[in-house]
Structure 1
C-alpha cells in the first residue's frame, strides 16, 4: 500500500479529512445561470467577464489554479500582471455563447498536470503572454467569423511567437489536512528579461451580503510577513509568505459605483487590487491592512531563459520557521504521487501512454468544484438584495423548487461547463473509481439524494435546464463502479452503496415509464437525450410537423436501463432473495421493449429498417402516419448497448428468477424469439440478452466498421460519412431540414452551437460500444468473427475489435510513428515545441477524419475515459491494424 493509499484509507475510515482542501474553485463563475438574475435568463450578459473583477458573486468563487475548503468559505488562487495588460489576470478569459462563432470558448493555455486523489500533491501550468493579452482582438475576430470558419484561438494571435511568454507552474503539497505548501515557479521562455507581478490571493466567499447571516470573517496583516485568517466556523489560519512581499487588502464586495453608478457597502471593493496595480491608484487598497480579500504582491524580473520561484504556506498559526522543511516536504509529496501512479501503471510499458493517462487523471481530479445552488433562494431573491424580476418565477428551473446543492462535484469542464451534468458525471465516475472509488461512489449517490432528484423521480440534467432529459446511464455507472471497487477490495462489494442507489433508480425508472412512453407501448421519446443536433429536428422542441418522435436511442437506452437494473437486482439478491422478483420484473421490461422495437404484436411500430438494415427514429404525425427519419447516426447504433450475459451459475444461484424466466419465455414465445439464442447455451453455459439477434448485430457492425461510414482512424463517428455525399433532407411546411456529415465544429446554433453530433468522435458512446462488444464476445467466444474493417477481407473476434477501437481512441493522444499527436491537428507549435507537445488537453469531442480536438478544450470529464482505456486491463496485444483508407500512416499505435 502506497502512502497515498494510506491517506485514502484514513479518509474512508474518518480518521483524517484529507479532502478538506482541494481544487474546488471553479474556473469561471461569471456568465453562469446561478449568478443570473435577469428577467429572461440572459446568463452570459448578466455578469460578464468585464464585470467579474468588480462584482461579488452570490453562489461561488473562481480563480486560476484555485483551491478552497470543501464548503468554499476560504479561497486561494493566483493572479498575475505582465505590466501591459489592461486588467489584472485574476481569471481565465473566454468568449460567451453569443460571442464565439461556435459558442462559448475559453481562450487561454492552461494544463492540469498532476494530482493525487486526496490532493496531497497537485501541479498545474498556466502559459501567460509577456505582451498585452489580446482580449479585444479575440472577441472581434471570432465575432467576425461565421460558423463555417475555424475558431480564432489565443495561439493564432502570435502572443507565443519567439517564446515571449511565461510558463507558470503552480504546485501544492499538503503537510497535513489543514496545512498546505504552495509553490509558484515562473519560467521566462523568451530571449529577453521580462517583468512579472505574481499575486497569490486569499479571500472569503461573500456569505454576509445577502441578508441571512451578517457574520463577516476577517483577514489581517500579521507581524511577521503573513496574513492572519479568522473564521468562526473554520477557526484560525495563517498565510505565510516567503521573500517578504507587500500585502494588499480589500473586501470581497461589489464595486457598485463602477458597475451601477451608486455607492457601495465598502470603500475598498473587490477590484481594489486591480486598480492599485494596473491603474496606479495607491489609495485603492485598505490602508489599515484588513479586509476579506488580500494579495501578496511579488514584483519580479524573470531573466531570459531562467525562472523565479515564490513560496507560501497556508497553515494553522504559530509556526516559528514555516519554510524550513518546505523543499523536503515538496519532494516527498511529489515522490509519493509518483509512487501512487507507478503502482497503478505498472503494467503500462509505454512512457507516453503513462503520461497521457496521468494527465487525464489530473484533469479529472482538478475538475472537482464546490457547487452551490439553492433554487428557492435563487427564484425568490435575497432579503438584503433587490427583488428579482417576477418573470423568473415562470422561467428557467422554476419546477425544481426542491433543489438545494452545496457539494464538491465532478465537473465536465470548470470553464465551459462549470456545472454538473447527469450523464457526463456517470461517465466521470469510471476513471475516478480507478484512483478513488469512494469519491466515485459518493458522486453517484449524490445525484439520487432528495435535494437533487426531483420528487417525481427525474434526475437533474444541468443548470441551464434541469428538466432536460439525459440518457439513463446512472444504473450502468453504478454497476461498473461497484465492480471496480469490488475488485480493488479483494472481491468484497459495497452492497450498502449499491442498494441505496438502486432504490432511488427504481423511482427514476418509473418516471421514465410514466413520462416518456407517450402511448404506453414501450417505445420511448426523451427529447434530444444529450445528442444535441444529431437529428433532423430539435427533438426537445415542438416539432414543425406536430406529433412526436419514437426514438431508437430513447428506446434502446431504456432497454439498457432495464438490463442494468436487472443485473444489480441479481447481485443484491445474493443477500436478500426478495430482489429476485425485482430482477424478473426488469427482465420482462426488457423483453417488452425488445418486442416493441421489432413490431411484435402488430402495433405498427418498427424502428428497424429491413431495406437499410439499420435502426432509425420514427416521426409519428398528428394524422397517425409514421415516417422513418433515415439518418445513419449513433442513434441507430445505441441498440448495441442493451446487452447482458448471464452465466449459468447466476441462474442456478437464483432459482426463483430462473423459474420465472423459463415460464415467461415458454408462455410468450413471440418475445422469447427476440432474445438471442436463449434456448441455445453459448460458451460456458452463458445466456445472452440483447436487442439484436446475431444477424442484425452483424448488419449493424457491417456499417459501424465501414471506413466509408462510421469507422474513423480515431474511433466511431457520431454520424455516417455516407451523409457527406448523400445529405438527408426532410421537407415540412415548405421548409427543408437537412442533416449532413460535419466531422468538426457544428455549422448551426442548435443547443448553443458549441457541440456537434453530426460526424465527430465522442468518447462516452465509443466507450459503451467497446464494452458492448466485449459482452457480446463473452457470450459468442472466439469462434464468432466479423469482417474488420468492412471490405478488408480480414476477420476478427469481437474482443479483438473492441481492443482495436480502444487503440484508435488512444491514438488521438499518443504520439504516432512520425512523432505527432492527432489531437493537436496541424498546429506546428503544439506538435513540435518541447514546451507544448507533451501537455495535453482532453477535448469535448474529436474531428471525425483527423482526430483533432474540438469543442470544449478542457472537457476532461467524459473524455477522461481515456484513462480507463489505457488501463492495463485494456492494453493487451491486439491484431495488427489494417491501414485506414489504405494509408499506412493512419494505422494507430499499439498500446502494449
Structure 2
C-alpha cells in the first residue's frame, strides 16, 4: 500500500482528516443562480464580474488556485498585480453568456498540473501577462462576432507575444492533515525586467451578514508569542489557524460589501471587501485597517524579476502555534510528497506507457481532483431570503418546486468556472476515473445525488442549478455499478452496502421515469432535453413548434440501459440477499418490453428502427395522428448500443428462481424476442446477450455507419452527428415552418442553448466511452469470429474488441503529440504547439472538433473528459503487444 493509500485509509477510518482541506474554492461565484436575487432571474446581470471584488457573496467564495476547509469557513488563494491592470487579479475573468458569441467562457490560461486524492500534494499553474489585462477588448470583440466566427481567446490579443508574462506556480504539500505548506514560484519569461505584486490572501466566508446567529470570526496580525509575520485566524467552529508568512507587509480589511461603491449607500465600516484592491491599485492607505484585524488579509510581496528570473515565496497554514522555524522543513516535505504522488500514480497505472501518455493521464486526474468544490445552496432559504436583507421580489423564481434541496457538500464539478455547480449526468461520468484513484469519494458523490435532501420526493434526480427539473440521461445506475466493479478490481473491496443503498433510491428514480416520461404507457420514452442540447431540429426541452410529442430513440435506449444496469446490480445483491431475485426478474422483463417496443412493427406501435435506412431515429407524433421518422443521423441513433448486457451461465445456475423465470419468458413470450438478441442462443462461454441492437440483423448496419469516416468516425473518435449532413442537411417542413439541421464540427451556429454547446458534430468523450464499453460487451458474447470492416470501406476487418481499442487510441490521440510535435487539442493555438513553456500543458475541454480534434466549449471540463485517464489505463493493460492488450480486455470483461 502506498503512502497516499495509507492516508486515504486513515481518513476513511477517521483516524486523520486528510480531506478536510482541499481545492474546494470555486473559480467563479459571481453570475451564479445562488447569488441571483433579481426579479427577472438574470443571474449574469445581477452579480457581474465588476461587482465581484466589492460585493460579499452569500453562498460561497471564489479565488485563484485556492483551498478551503470542507465547509469553506476559511479560504486561501492568491491575488496578483502587474502594476498595470486596473483590477487586482483576485479571480479568473471570462465572458457571461450574453457577452460571448458562443456563450460563457473563461478567458484565462491556467493548468491543473498535479493532485492526489488526499490533497497531500497539489500543483497549479497560472499565466499572468506583464501588460494590462484586455478585459474590454475581449468583451467587445466577442460581442461583435457572430455564431459563424470563432471566439476571441486571450492569446489572440497578442498579450503573450515575446513571452511577456509570468508563470505563477502554486504548490501545496501537507505535513499533516492540518498542516499545509504553501510554495509560490513566479517566473518572468520575458526579455525585460518586470515587477509583480504577489498577494497570498486569507479570508473567512461571510456568514455573519446574512444570519443574525452567526458570530463573526476574526483575523489578526501576530500570535500569542508576538510574532509579526503571522496571521491568526479564529473561528467559532474551526478553531484557531495560523498563516506563517515570510517577512513582508500584512494588509487587513473586512470581507463585506462596499455598498458605497456599488449602491451609493454608506458602508458600516471603512474596511470592505475591495479594501486591499484600493490599497494596491489606487494607493488608498486608509482602505486597510491599521489595527491589523479583519476578516480578510493578505501578505504583499513586491517582486522585481529580471528577464527569465524566478523567485519563490513560502507560507504555512497550520493549526500549530508553536513553530519557531516554520519554513525549515519545506524542501524535505515537498520532495517526499512529490515522490509519494509518483508512487501512487505508478500504482494506478503500473504497466509501461509512454512519458507523454503518463503526463496526459496525470494532468487528467489532477483536473478531476482540482475541480472538487464546496457547494452550498439551500433552496428554501434562497427563495425566502435572509432576515438581515430585504425579501426577494422574484417573478417565477427558479427551482421553486425544489424547496427540499439542501446542498452543503464537497462535489465534483464539471468546470469550476463555466459550470461551478453540479450537473447530475456529468457527475456520473466523473465517478468512473475518480473511482480509480479514490473510490470512497466517487461513492459519496453517487450517494449524495440519491439522498433525500437532493432527490425530489417524486424520485427525480436534480439536474443542475439553472433548472433542477430538467431531465438528464439516467446513467447513475451504470455509474454505481461501474464504481463498485472498479473498487473490486483495483482495491479488492466489495462494498455491497454502498451498492444496495444507492440501488434502493434508484428504484424511486426509475419509477419516476416510468410514470413521467412514457407518454402512452407503451415503453417508448420522451425524456426531452436529456443533456444533449441541440442534437435535434427542435429544442427538446420546450414544447414542440409543431405540437404533438416526440418519441425518442435515445430516451428509450437510456431506459433500456437503466433496466440492464439495475438488473446487474440486483443480481450482484442476490449474493447476500436472495429476495433480490424477484427484483432482478422485474428489470429483466421490463427490458424485454422496452426492446420490443423500440423494434416492433405493428398497428399500435411505430418502431424507432427505420428498416429502409437501417438506423434508429426519433418519431414525431403530430396532433392529427400523423407521425414521421426524423431522419437525423445522429448520436440519438447510436445510444441503442448502450443498452447491452451479458448474462453469465454461472449466474443463471446460481439463481434457480431467476433462471426459471428467464426460461419461462423464452418459452411463453416469444413475441418479446422479435427483433431482439437471441436469449436462447448462447454465445462465447455459454453467455446470454441482452441487447436492443440485434447483433445478427442490425448491429452490423449500425456499426457500418458508426465506422464510416464519411459519417460518424473521425480521426479523433465518434462524432455526435453524421458528417453526411454537411452535404445533405436534414430538413423537415410542417405548418409553414422549415426546420433544418446540418453538420457543424466545431462551435454551434445556433443560439438554441446560448451558443455554448454543440451536439451537431463534435466529439464528446462520455458518449465515446459508452460506445467503447458497449463494443467490449458485444465482443464478450460474439467472440473473435464476429468482425466488422473498420474503417468502413477500408478492407480491414477487426473484432469488436479491436474496434474498441481503435476508438480508444483515436480519442487519446486528441491529447498526444503527433508526428509534427503538435497536440490536436490545442487547435490553431500555435504557442501551445511550439513554445517550450506550453508544449506539455493540457486542457481537457467540454468537447472536440469533429474534424481536427481541437478543444471546444468549457476548457477545464476535466470531469467527463477526464475519462481519457481511464482509457489510457485500459490501453496500458498491454505490456508491449496489441495481442496482449486484447487478451487483457477479454479477461476484464470476463471478470465484470
Q: TM-score, normalised by structure 2?
A: 0.97
Asked whether the 8 Å contact 1:458–1:508 carries over to 2, the reply is: yes
Residue 735 of structure 1: CA displacement? 2.1
Structure 2 counterpart of 1:553: 554
Answering whether residue 454 of structure 2 is matched by residue 452 of structure 1, we say yes
Is there any run of 5+ residues in structure 1 with no aligned partner, and where? 881-896
Structure 1 counterpart of 2:23: 23
Asked whether the 8 Å contact 2:585–2:661 carries over to 1, the reply is: yes
Structure 2 counterpart of 1:502: 503
SS at match of 2:287: coil
Structure 2 counterpart of 1:116: 116
Answering whether residue 337 of structure 2 is matched by residue 302 of structure 1, we say no
Structure 1 counterpart of 2:769: 767
CA deviation digits over 1:453-496, x for unaligned, max 9? 00000000000000000000000000000000111232x41000
SS at match of 1:77: strand
Asked whether the 8 Å contact 2:220–2:231 carries over to 1, the reply is: yes
Cα distance in 1, alignment partners of residues 672 and 64 from structure 2? 57
Structure 2 counterpart of 1:751: 753
Residue 601 of structure 1: CA displacement? 5.5
Structure 1 counterpart of 2:519: 518
Answering whether residue 595 of structure 2 is matched by residue 591 of structure 1, we say no
Asked whether the 8 Å contact 1:553–1:635 carries over to 2, the reply is: yes
SS at match of 2:663: helix
SS at match of 1:526: coil
1:718-867 equivalent positions in 2, closer than 5 A: 718-867=720-869
1:31-70 equivalent positions in 2, closer than 5 A: 31-70=31-70
Asked whether the 8 Å contact 1:803–1:875 carries over to 2, the reply is: no
Cα distance in 1, alignment partners of residues 428 and 807 from structure 2? 21
Asked whether the 8 Å contact 2:349–2:876 carries over to 1, the reply is: no
Structure 1 counterpart of 2:82: 82
Asked whether the 8 Å contact 1:130–1:166 carries over to 2, the reply is: yes
Structure 2 counterpart of 1:869: 871
Asked whether the 8 Å contact 1:710–1:717 carries over to 2, the reply is: yes
SS at match of 1:870: helix
1:250-329 equivalent positions in 2, closer than 5 A: 250-316=253-319, 317-329=321-333
Structure 1 counterpart of 2:148: 148
Residue 338 of structure 1: CA displacement? 1.3
1:651-690 equivalent positions in 2, closer than 5 A: 651-690=652-691
Cα distance in 1, alignment partners of residues 418 and 654 from structure 2? 48
CA deviation digits over 1:526-568, x for unaligned, max 9? 1110000000100110111111100000000000000000110
Cα distance in 2, alignment partners of residues 755 and 713 from structure 1? 21
CA distance 1:730–1:879, change in 2 (3 Å): farther
Residue 386 of structure 1: CA displacement? 1.1
Structure 2 counterpart of 1:202: 202
Q: Specify which of 339, 348, 351 is matched with residue 352 of structure 2.
A: 348
1:228-239 equivalent positions in 2, closer than 5 A: 228-239=232-243
Asked whether the 8 Å contact 1:600–1:670 carries over to 2, the reply is: no
Is there any run of 5+ residues in structure 2 with no aligned partner, and where? 885-896
Cα distance in 1, alignment partners of residues 3 and 336 from structure 2? 10
CA distance 1:879–1:135, change in 2 (3 Å): farther
Q: TM-score, normalised by structure 1?
A: 0.97
Residue 600 of structure 1: CA displacement? 5.4
SS at match of 1:425: helix
Residue 672 of structure 1: CA displacement? 2.4
Asked whether the 8 Å contact 2:846–2:865 carries over to 1, the reply is: yes
Asked whether the 8 Å contact 1:64–1:90 carries over to 2, the reply is: yes
Cα distance in 1, alignment partners of residues 724 and 250 from structure 2? 63
Asked whether the 8 Å contact 1:182–1:311 carries over to 2, the reply is: yes
Asked whether the 8 Å contact 2:528–2:540 carries over to 1, the reply is: yes
Residue 41 of structure 1: CA displacement? 1.0
1:606-645 equivalent positions in 2, closer than 5 A: 606-645=607-646
Asked whether the 8 Å contact 2:805–2:875 carries over to 1, the reply is: no
Residue 875 of structure 1: CA displacement? 5.1
Asked whether the 8 Å contact 1:544–1:732 carries over to 2, the reply is: no
SS at match of 2:65: strand
Cα distance in 1, alignment partners of residues 834 and 667 from structure 2? 65
Cα distance in 2, alignment partners of residues 583 and 338 from structure 1? 43
Of stretches 713-722 and 216-225 in structure 1, the one that deviates more from structure 2 is 216-225
Report how many residues are paired: 876
1:113-512 equivalent positions in 2, closer than 5 A: 113-222=113-222, 223-224=226-227, 225-242=229-246, 244-316=247-319, 317-391=321-395, 394-490=396-492, 492-512=493-513
Structure 2 counterpart of 1:893: none
Cα distance in 1, alignment partners of residues 872 and 207 from structure 2? 43
Asked whether the 8 Å contact 1:185–1:308 carries over to 2, the reply is: yes
CA deviation digits over 1:693-723, x for unaligned, max 9? 1220110000000000000000000000000
Cα distance in 2, alignment partners of residues 486 and 568 from structure 1? 14
Residue 318 of structure 1: CA displacement? 2.3
Asked whether the 8 Å contact 1:461–1:470 carries over to 2, the reply is: yes
SS at match of 2:554: helix
Cα distance in 1, alignment partners of residues 211 and 28 from structure 2? 25
CA deviation digits over 1:3-29, x for unaligned, max 9? 111101111111111001000000000
Residue 348 of structure 1: CA displacement? 3.4
Structure 2 counterpart of 1:98: 98
Cα distance in 1, alignment partners of residues 75 and 377 from structure 2? 18
CA deviation digits over 1:857-878, x for unaligned, max 9? 1110100000000004565344
Cα distance in 2, alignment partners of residues 346 and 565 from structure 1? 32
Structure 2 counterpart of 1:701: 703
Residue 203 of structure 1: CA displacement? 0.3
CA distance 1:211–1:349, change in 2 (3 Å): closer
SS at match of 2:356: helix
Cα distance in 1, alignment partners of residues 822 and 610 from structure 2? 42
SS at match of 1:871: helix
Cα distance in 2, alignment partners of residues 292 and 604 from structure 1? 65
CA deviation digits over 1:410-434, x for unaligned, max 9? 0000000000000000000000011
Residue 879 of structure 1: CA displacement? 8.5
Cα distance in 2, alignment partners of residues 415 and 156 from structure 1? 20
CA distance 1:806–1:757, change in 2 (3 Å): same
Of stretches 663-672 and 47-56 in structure 1, the one that deviates more from structure 2 is 663-672
CA deviation digits over 1:838-858, x for unaligned, max 9? 000000000000000000011
CA deviation digits over 1:787-824, x for unaligned, max 9? 11101111000000001000000000011122111101
Asked whether the 8 Å contact 1:457–1:510 carries over to 2, the reply is: yes
Asked whether the 8 Å contact 1:428–1:865 carries over to 2, the reply is: yes
Asked whether the 8 Å contact 1:113–1:359 carries over to 2, the reply is: yes
SS at match of 1:363: helix
Cα distance in 1, alignment partners of residues 759 and 88 from structure 2? 38
Cα distance in 2, alignment partners of residues 602 and 640 from structure 1? 26
SS at match of 2:186: strand
Of stretches 317-326 and 29-38 in structure 1, the one that deviates more from structure 2 is 317-326
SS at match of 2:684: coil
Asked whether the 8 Å contact 1:79–1:89 carries over to 2, the reply is: yes
Cα distance in 2, alignment partners of residues 100 and 417 from structure 1? 15
Residue 343 of structure 1: CA displacement? 2.1
Cα distance in 1, alignment partners of residues 762 and 292 from structure 2? 54
SS at match of 2:285: coil
CA deviation digits over 1:215-248, x for unaligned, max 9? 0000001032110110110111110001x11000
